[in-house]
Every structure is written in C-alpha cells, then in structure tokens.
Amino acid sequence: LNLDVAVRGPYFDAKMTPSLERVVDKVASMVIDPGTGKPLSEDWRPNRVPLGSGSDYTAMLDNLGIPSVDFGFHGYPGLYHSIYDDFYWMEQFG
C-alpha cells in the first residue's frame, strides 16, 4: 500500500495491479469520504492503467512482484519532496 501523496486535495484516486482491483473496489464502497459523506466509490472512477514505476511501490512491485496499490486524495498542488514538506506544515496548513 503506497500513500506517497495521501492528502493533496478533495479527489480520491487509486492505481493498482489488476489482481487487487476487486479488493480496492470493495473497500472504496465501504469507506466514507470525509469531504462528501458518501462512499469513495460514488465519485471515483478507477484508473485501470496498471502501475508502472517511479514511486515508493516500485521496489515491491517491479523487483519482488508484490501486488501494489497507490492511493490518496489529489487535486491541489502541494509541497512534495521539498524542504517545507514536514510535520509542521501538514499540521498547520495541509
């Protein structure tokens, strides 16, 4: 489970290996979106493009063959891998 960019806006998105699609679909129907009060699955259109590389899940997926999911809330630009990307910023502004 990769949460590299877990909170960066109001829109939920998840990309996954095909073997995990049914599990993620089921969980998305059970988890309530804190912004809308509806299940995540109501506004989410799954991205059926298989994971590639370029994030923290790469070692598990590409080197070890472990099925992976990359998910989070997206939509706003944010501070990602910068000197300001820290606990204080998230607590105060994020």
**CB contact at 8 A, 9 and 74:** yes
In a 13 Å sphere around the CA of 28, the CA atoms on its Cβ side amount to 23
**Coil, strand, or helix at residue 28?**
helix
Question: What is the residue-level pLDDT of the chain in tens, covering all 94 positions?
Answer: 887 777 777 888 888 888 999 999 999 999 998 888 999 888 877 666 678 777 888 888 988 999 999 888 877 666 666 777 778 877 887 6
